[in-house]
Amino acid sequence: MLLNANIALSSSKALLVPYSSWHVPQYHEWMKDPDIQEATASEPLSIEEEYSMQRSWRQDADKLTFIVCRAISTGSEGDIPSQSQLLGESDSPASMVGDINLFLRIDDGDEGNSPPQIVGEIELMVAEKVNQRRGFGRAALLMFMRYIIQNQGAILDEFVGGGDVDVETVRKLKTGVETAGSSEGLSLECFSVKIGQANLRSLALFESTGFVRCSDEPNFFGEFELRCTDLSLGSIDGALDKAGVKGFIALPYGRTE
């Protein structure tokens, strides 16, 4: 997605930056790990294929992604980052810890005969074990959700205008908005995440941030789908505060491809 090409998200707990070509070598190294491949249901790619995937995530209208990095350090414990502190090394390989992605899709029921709804599926990875259990995943998830909720109008405009959603579906989506009496445009129905049944830590993380399992049993692939339907700014701001994520701001990201 082009919307976030020049935006970074900063807080006291993490820094999120657009996935750019200079992040690919480190990301490629992560994805060589069999444990990461299993956790993300991914196949190993060549470095050339990884660059191609990076361009896809940066340009495709149904995808939004950030690289998760360590928070900007101010040198004083408890200080909150400011705009002037985003430097070139803020998202260097040594600062990268993972990634977080949104994949937008149209959900019209198992039989395809329900009114279409827009669902945002989230994928989150904290790559190396040394960076796990340190709060990066929770901070990144809440920051990401905050950004999407605040900017969902522009995000969904790019999604439906990108050419992959057929005209009739767009018409039905907009008809549903008009029927509901909304004047604020299209909206997400919910956030969704799919997690392997053995990944207890991820299940606990998402359940503690408002996601609810759609069924008591995993699907054919051994995954649970969880959904979050409370997309209010008040709810997410409360979760950020509870998690100790302070100073959330959007910063200009001036580096170019």
pLDDT digits (tens, 9 = 90+) for 160-194: 988 888 888 888 888 755 444 443 478 899 999 99
Q: What is the DSSP letter of 73?
A: P
CATH of residue 15? 3.40.630
Q: How far apart are the first and last CA of the chain?
A: 14
Question: Does some domain include residue 257?
Answer: no
Question: Does some domain include residue 88?
Answer: yes
Question: Does some domain include residue 20?
Answer: yes
Residue type, 6: N
Question: Does some domain include residue 206?
Answer: no
Q: Which residue segment(s) compose the domain that 30 sits in?
A: 7-189+229-252
Q: Strand, helix or coil at 29?
A: helix
Query: Residue 79: its pLDDT value, please?
Result: 61
**Structural domain total, the chain:** 1
Q: Strand, helix or coil at 39?
A: helix
Report d(CA 169, CA 69) in Å as an integer: 37
Question: Does some domain include residue 223?
Answer: no
Question: Does some domain include residue 123?
Answer: yes
pTM: 0.91
Q: Strand, helix or coil at 196?
A: strand
Question: Does some domain include residue 195?
Answer: no
Confidence band for 257, pLDDT divided at 50, 70 and 90: low
Which H helix or E strand runs over 140?
Answer: helix 136-150
Question: Does some domain include residue 97?
Answer: yes
Per cent of the chain over pLDDT 90 is 67
Query: Residue 180: its pLDDT value, please?
Result: 44
